[in-house]
Structure 1
């Protein structure tokens, strides 16, 4: 298989890519390859959250691009709904080949910079396999769990040392990153162990751990801005912050978090994370995630007040203010007011007429904040599970583009700029409104990502 891949890349004539002069002050880095079964006609390269460039596929589904004066460090590329990380150095000539039907497992690199990135893909795939083992590990007592993680970490460090011994030319930046890629997924599992253990053993108390259980905390770096967009690193930070907050005296929580816990988590983040940019991003993510987990319009404003006090990002605060205001606009136990929705034949309809005499679930979405693939999958599942409920999907960006694939077009609508629905959709965030046959709102801000949605729809279906 590997030999075939190398022959393939020779056929696409990349010899010229290796003529870059590494001693030149102005560097040119090449990034390209071939996508089998492409999901779109382009690949986007990011540095953190900033787009570096967009590379379009040709008729043979190949692409090639130049990056002038690329900085060394972590990047990621996106194709369709999938993405993967790469580590780029100036003058690299990095070529990839992947099949979008088996994105990560099929991904392989050749060219200058390929070996270090193939190792990172191996780290990712091994990490996925390791994750499955932790389903069993999490049921172990702390002593046996620690034995398993210590053994696994020793294997990761052996891999790390063997690679460095055979690749003495690697930069200090890559060495540090490789160590993170190998070890932080394990550290994240250690931080998650108390809550995972209580969940799987159905214990209402956390297990007792000794001081040595979190020995990794002595040398981990929780304030590396350049890694905050690297999932294994950000997952560790998240698990660490939650675990630290639980240690303040909170009991295990599963379906939703108490307002007291959320406020404590916001303050833990404020105290532990130094970078204002990373801190503000985590604070906002926490409030949004916990808001949607509750899946209702009964909002405890103390959480938002604490967030507004701690965050320094005015744009984020304005956005969360709109979310809070939206939640107050359509209230439980009140009749739904009328507004206009438009079908994809551009015919306008009164929402009251569309749902008259029906148990209805109105889902509002915007491509800016929602994944079409996730929405289609989730809504189809809910529709099959509750066939007696009328599911209406309404796009909120005033456009008749972006129909959701694999969903009945007759249940899809959008709102125009004049619709009164805009009054409760100012944040552009997804929301669902549950309405019974009498036109009474039973939930003004439901969430399709919350586990509570099943109970809410089951109760509606009884009417």
Structure 2
């Protein structure tokens, strides 16, 4: 019974508080327990439509006089989730940020579809675990049989929902695509996961009809661009096609991805040839660029890549962001000066990175209070390294942490105040130092970079 009380309350609140609207308007509101931000932001694709500040009861509301039917997503930093909206809708949500997705409940118009999409999302996490624990080890025919059974069960549930709720064509299309592309993605990555689960070097031959679903792939569907299963499928699909294409045409077989520049040039060309919808193409191009540039730091190879990228996608909606990443990596190569970035000391004064690394050897590492396990492991590793490498200063730079909490954590772990600083401008820090992956560290000597892409856990640090 307790499970239905929030829904009943939400319906009551909608009835009492929803303003009068016309048939074209949309009302979207809700209550957030244990909020982690003051705002909820509603997005359509990559565009933020509006933000709403929580009131004294942690409630928010949006009203739009005219919006297009389709998939939206709302952000309550640092979390986000879908909401499907149609003209005339009144939709209410309630959630507890301690269990964001698991506690989320939709009520009002289109509640059936929104709760169904959420249920699929939560169940897919369990299916993903099943893939790794059991199914990827199966041979091709058995694997196809198992996941087809799982896919059909979900499609049958959708048909039952559609019969009861009479979904619109767009709503039904999105729900069906959410199911289909989830399982199609499993088939795209299966050959590589199967090889990995058996610890073999070569890919196994597949049944002739293994990829039969590819005949029905829609590469240009505007309604699906920001549907996570569809986009994740497209990334895996393009990677698979690129690998196989390169294996056959370049004769590299298992060694295809050893040359990341060559492989990613293939991927750019395949995306360009298959995808016509510009926003989807731009997003896929961005994904390739970021994956490549964040993993490959050779100046000459990166120059070849970015020149090809600009030729193929010079009008990409993300081009400035990609060029900033490229320039950031180029500017922190060995023998370059550490960028002139200010950080905040434990005494609340601004200090520059060059001044912290002048006339000494320094290892800069990074941490955030948002991940306790990560920073505790980092701190343990730093204490090991301090004993092993006493000729180095180890300087921690914190970000995304409230100042008092940051100082409390530093004091708890007994670090010298002169070894801990906080980002003054996170965007500048991330752009100029390329904060990826989280275990990265930057080694400097006399304020000059030795290695800007080292790893705090590397044995030869």
Question: TM-score under structure 2 normalisation?
Answer: 0.82
User: What's the CA shift string for 1:411-456, capped at 9, x where partnerless?
Assistant: 224578xxxxx8x98768536662267776442345xxxxxx356x
Distance 2:360 2:21 in 1: 70
Is the 8 Å Cα contact of residues 188 and 240 (structure 1) preserved in structure 2? yes
From 148, 171, 180, the counterpart of 1:183: 180
| Aligned counterpart, 1:232 | 229
Alignment partner of 1:144 is 2:145: no
**CA displacement 1:367-398 (0-9 Å, x = unmatched):** xxxxx676886555433334326143277xxx
Q: Please state if 1:351 is matched with 2:354.
A: yes
Shift in Å at residue 404 of structure 1? 10
Distance 2:8 2:256 in 1: 51
User: CA separation in 2, counterparts of 1:438 and 1:118?
Assistant: 57
Question: Structure 1 residues 414 and 133, CA, compared in 2 at 3 Å: closer, same or farther?
Answer: closer
Query: Does the aligned pair in 1 maintain the 2:325–2:434 contact within 8 Å?
Result: yes
After the TM superposition, which of the residue ranges 305-314 and 246-255 deviates more from structure 2?
246-255
Residue aligning to 1:95: 92
Distance, in Å, in 1 between the alignment partners of 2:59 and 2:339 is 50
1:222 and 2:219 matched: yes
Distance 1:267 1:454, change over 3 A: farther
User: Following the alignment from structure 1 to structure 2, what is the Cα–Cα distance between the partners of residues 362 and 303?
Assistant: 29
Q: Does the CA contact (< 8 Å) of 2:151 and 2:180 recur in 1?
A: yes
Moved more, 376-385 or 278-287: 376-385
- The 1-side partners of 2:211 and 2:356 are apart by 59
CA contact (8 A) 1:319 1:427 kept: no
Match of 1:133 in 2: 130
The change in CA–CA distance for 1:342 and 1:102 in structure 2 (over 3 A counts) is closer
Distance in 2 (alpha carbons) for counterparts of 1:129 and 1:202: 24
- In the alignment, the residues of structure 2 paired with residue 21 and residue 435 of structure 1 have an alpha-carbon distance, to the nearest angstrom, of 61
8 Å contact from structure 1 (residues 403, 412) kept in 2: no
Number of the residue aligned with 1:171: 168
Shift of 1:408: 3.6
Question: Is the Cα contact below 8 Å between 1:18 and 1:112 reproduced in 2?
Answer: no
Pairs within 5 Å for 1:284-295: 284-294=286-296
**Could you tell me how far apart the structure 2 residues matched to 1:338 and 1:191 are?**
42
**Alpha-carbon offset, residue 154 of structure 1:** 1.6
Provide closer, same or farther for how the CA distance between residues 313 and 71 of structure 1 changes in structure 2, counting only shifts above 3 A.
same
In 2 relative to 1, CA 315–150 (structure 1 residues): closer, same or farther, beyond 3 Å? Answer: closer
Cα deviation for residue 360 of structure 1 reads 0.4
CA–CA distance in 2 between the matches of 1:403 and 1:458?
32
Give the distance between the partners of 2:397 and 2:54, measured in 1 at CA: 33
The within-5 A match list for 1:415-430 is: 429-430=434-435
User: What's the CA shift for 1:180?
Assistant: 0.8
**Deviations for 1:250-273, whole angstroms, at most 9, x for unmatched residues?**
545899762111111111111111
Aligned equivalent of 1:341: 342
| Separation (CA, whole Å) in 2 of partners of 1:312 and 1:379 | 39
Unaligned residue ranges in structure 1 (runs of 5+) = 366-371, 417-421, 447-452
The residue aligned with 2:443 is 435
Structure with the higher helix share, 1 or 2 = 2
Choose the corresponding residue for 1:110, options 107, 130, 142: 107
Whole-angstrom distance in 2 between the partners of 1:36 and 1:342: 34
Q: Residues of 1 paired with 2:339 and 2:118: CA distance?
A: 52
1:69-107 Cα deviation digits (max 9, x unpaired): 122110011112111101111111101111111011111
209, 212, 215: which is aligned to 2:209? 212
1:361 is matched with: 364
> Over aligned residue pairs, what C-alpha RMSD do you find?
3.4
What residue in structure 2 maps to residue 308 of structure 1?
310
More off after superposition, 385-394 vs 262-271: 385-394
1:392 aligns with 2:396: yes
Q: Tell me the secondary structure at the aligned position of residue 272 of structure 2.
A: helix
What are the Cα deviations for residues 154-213 of structure 1, in whole angstroms up to 9, with x where unaligned? Answer: 21221122222223x321111111101222111111111111112222211112112310
Give the Cα separation in 2 of the matches to 1:320 and 1:132.
33
Matched-pair contact (CA < 8 Å) for 1:188–1:239: yes
Q: Note the residue ranges of structure 2 that are not aligned, 5 or more in a row.
A: 387-393, 412-416
Q: Deviations over 1:40-86 (max 9, x none)?
A: 12211111111122122111111222121122110011112111101
Summarize the Cα distance change of 1:437–1:115 in structure 2 as closer, same or farther, 3 Å threshold.
same
> After alignment, is 186-195 or 374-383 more displaced?
374-383
Task: Tell me the TM-score normalized by structure 1.
Answer: 0.82
CA contact (8 A) 1:297 1:444 kept: no
Alignment partner, residue 3 of structure 1: 4
